Amino acid sequence: MFNNFPNYSYSGYPYTQNYNTSQPQFQPQQTQPSGINWVQGEAGAKSYQISPGQHVMLMDSENYVFYIKSSDPSGMPMPLRIFDYKERTPQNNQQPQQNNNNEYITRKEFEKRISEIKNGKQSVQSTQ
Helix, strand, coil proportions of the chain in percent (round to 5)? 20, 20, 60
**93 part of a folded domain:** no
CA neighbours within 13 Å on the CB side: how many for 14?
5
Please give the sequence-ordered ranges of beta strands (E in DSSP) within 2-93, or none if there are none.
Answer: 15-17, 24-26, 37-39, 55-60, 65-70, 81-84
Does residue 38 sit within a domain? yes
User: What's the pLDDT score for residue 61?
Assistant: 94
Closest listed residue to residue 67, CA positions, set 87, 88, 39, 86: 39
Parallel, antiparallel, or unpaired for β 65-70 and 81-84?
antiparallel
Report the candidate in 91, 99, 51 with the shortest Cα–Cα distance to residue 72: 51
Q: Is residue 107 part of a domain?
A: no
Q: Where in the sequence is the domain holding 66, given as residue range(s)?
A: 34-86
The pLDDT tens digits along the chain (128 residues) read 455 555 554 455 455 555 555 555 555 444 555 678 999 999 999 999 999 999 999 999 999 999 999 999 999 999 999 999 888 888 766 666 666 656 788 889 888 988 888 887 765 565 55
Q: Do the domain assignments include residue 65?
A: yes
Is the dihedral angle over the CA atoms 22, 28, 30, 31 positive or is it negative?
Answer: positive
Three-class SS state of 9: coil
Residue 30: the pLDDT is 47
79 in a domain, yes or no? yes
Q: What's the confidence (pLDDT) of residue 79?
A: 95
Domain-located, residue 51: yes
Asked whether residue 53 is domain-assigned, the answer is yes
Quote the number of domains for the chain. Answer: 1
State the alpha helices, DSSP H only, in 1-122: 41-47, 107-119
Q: Is residue 100 part of a domain?
A: no
